[in-house]
Homo-oligomer: A and B are copies of this chain.
Amino acid sequence: MHNCLVAQSGGPTVAINSSLAGVIQGAINSQYFDKIYGSLNGVQGLLNGRLMDLTKKVEETPMFIDLLQKSPSMYLGSCRYQLPDYSEDDAPYAYIFNKFEEYEIDAFFYIGGNDSMDTVDKLNAYAQQIGNPIKIVGIPKTIDNDLCVTDHTPGYGSAAKYVASTLLEIGHDTSIYPINSVTIVEIMGRDAGWLAGSSVLARNSYNHAPHLIYLPEVAFNEAEFIEDVKAAIEKYNNVVIAVSEGIKDADGKYISATTAVEDTFGHSQLSGTGKCLEYIIKENLQVKVRSVEINILQRSAAHMSSVTDIGEAFRLGMHAVKVATDGKSGVMVTAVRKSNDPYAVDMGDTDVKNVAGLVKHVPREWINERGNDVTQEFIDYAYPLILGEPVVKYQRGIPDYLDVSHLYPENK
């Protein structure tokens, strides 16, 4: 028997299931693998014996691969488990590789972000040490788009499309009153501003929102911010600001409300970046202001995904199978941009060591000098990634996604 195993890790995106679908399709097409197993909750499924027979799922569920491509979040679940260094503790490694042998696993595909690529690296190194010929291949995903080497990461294009469309709708929403107002939109991205920057794609022939864009790559300056907002109000009346949750001041300190909130009940809690900018404006400018946090919607709104993104996620999944059957291990598959007009990408791969634990930032020259907008280079880069709308099926008025009840607690 030649079997393969696939797992997902990290935070959800709306494209990560499409990469899973690509692995399944690739494994079927290869005619090399007999069975495709899915490990529930990342490597944890291996440790606690929760494996799912995906070959059977494909046979039993009509349109399984198509539905999987269009379903948000993670069909196999995720985990926060970090493998120890095997030179210090090889017990989980021994256990995992026993499972690999028990299930006759020839290839393991791990779909995740830079932490997950660290796991790929560790498992591959251990395999080499014990002389196990298993192929271990990483497949990138993250809405943050901050993985190195690959031109971009599956999940980013769809999140960017959602962010841009939502910012356009917020632009419409804020235009209705002939008054001055400021709306701050907080967008995910702790370390890199790729997703906040994509809000620029909301601008069209009539919509100028977001009027200001702040990314973590440039130190946040409160005095300049107040000046910028004041000038934008003068010009536009109703101002929309897109801000990355990860902006920091010149000392590298996150801009967020750090003192505890106290409420009716005496409970306390911290507040976010958008709220913090809201307070700054309230204190310094006499203007109506509110903040909106797009929150987890930007990574789970599969009803508004990018066909380009979903398609590439699928191709990368398929390519990972090819890379493994070609005999490579310890690599991550990558998207290699060949041209922008027409937009074209090839599939490649890179040693996971070039990706694991590293962060790709927005180049400084793709942000304007003042640090309150992105440049045409950013637009040219991000624009092709949000193109195309999938046909989303609806059932009883809500999107028709794949049943994920296998992730729920058992016997409950």
Decide if B263 touches A166 in the complex (CB within 8 Å): no
- Across the interface, A256 reaches (CB within 8 A) one of B173, B263, B408, namely B263
- Across the interface, A177 reaches (CB within 8 A) one of B41, B253, B259, namely B41
**For the complex, is A126 an interface residue (Cβ under 8 Å from B)?**
no
A299's closest neighbor in chain B, by CB?
B173
Query: Least Cβ distance of A260 to chain B in Å?
Result: 8
Query: Least Cβ distance of A144 to chain B in Å?
Result: 16
Decide if A275 touches B280 in the complex (CB within 8 Å): no
Decide if B235 touches A263 in the complex (CB within 8 Å): no
Kindly specify which of A314-322, A328-336, A398-406 makes contact with the partner chain: A398-406
Decide if B161 touches A397 in the complex (CB within 8 Å): yes
Decide if A173 touches B300 in the complex (CB within 8 Å): yes
A281's closest neighbor in chain B, by CB?
B267
Decide if A394 touches B398 in the complex (CB within 8 Å): no
Once bound together, how far apart are the Cα atoms of A129 and B92, in whole Å? 86
Cβ < 8 Å to B, chain A residues 284-309: 292-297, 299-304, 306
Instruction: Tell me which residues across on chain B come within 8 A of A304, comparing CB atoms.
Output: 303-304
Total chain A interface residues with beta-carbon distance under 8 A: 92
Once bound together, how far apart are the Cα atoms of A399 and B389, in whole Å? 10
Provided the pairs A263-B259, A398-B202, A409-B236 are in contact, do residues A178 and B41 lie with their beta carbons within 8 angstroms? yes
Instruction: Tell me which residues across on chain B come within 8 A of A293, comparing CB atoms.
Output: 292-293, 295
Decide if A258 touches B267 in the complex (CB within 8 Å): no
A259's closest neighbor in chain B, by CB?
B262
Decide if A303 touches B165 in the complex (CB within 8 Å): yes
A308's closest neighbor in chain B, by CB?
B397
**Most B-side CB within 10 Å, residue of A236, A237, A261, A386:** A261
Decide if B176 touches A78 in the complex (CB within 8 Å): yes
Cβ < 8 Å to B, chain A residues 120-166: 161, 164-166
**For the complex, is A115 an interface residue (Cβ under 8 Å from B)?**
no
- Across the interface, A173 reaches (CB within 8 A) one of B12, B172, B388, B394, namely B12
Question: What are 18 A-B contacts with C-beta separation under 8 Å?
Answer: A12-B173, A79-B178, A169-B297, A169-B399, A170-B296, A175-B407, A204-B398, A206-B405, A207-B404, A234-B412, A256-B263, A257-B263, A258-B263, A261-B261, A268-B279, A269-B275, A269-B279, A293-B293
With A172-B300, A173-B296, A293-B295 known, 19 other A-B pairs at CB within 8 A are A71-B172, A72-B173, A77-B178, A78-B177, A164-B398, A168-B401, A169-B297, A169-B300, A173-B300, A178-B409, A202-B398, A222-B265, A235-B409, A256-B263, A257-B264, A258-B264, A259-B261, A261-B275, A267-B279
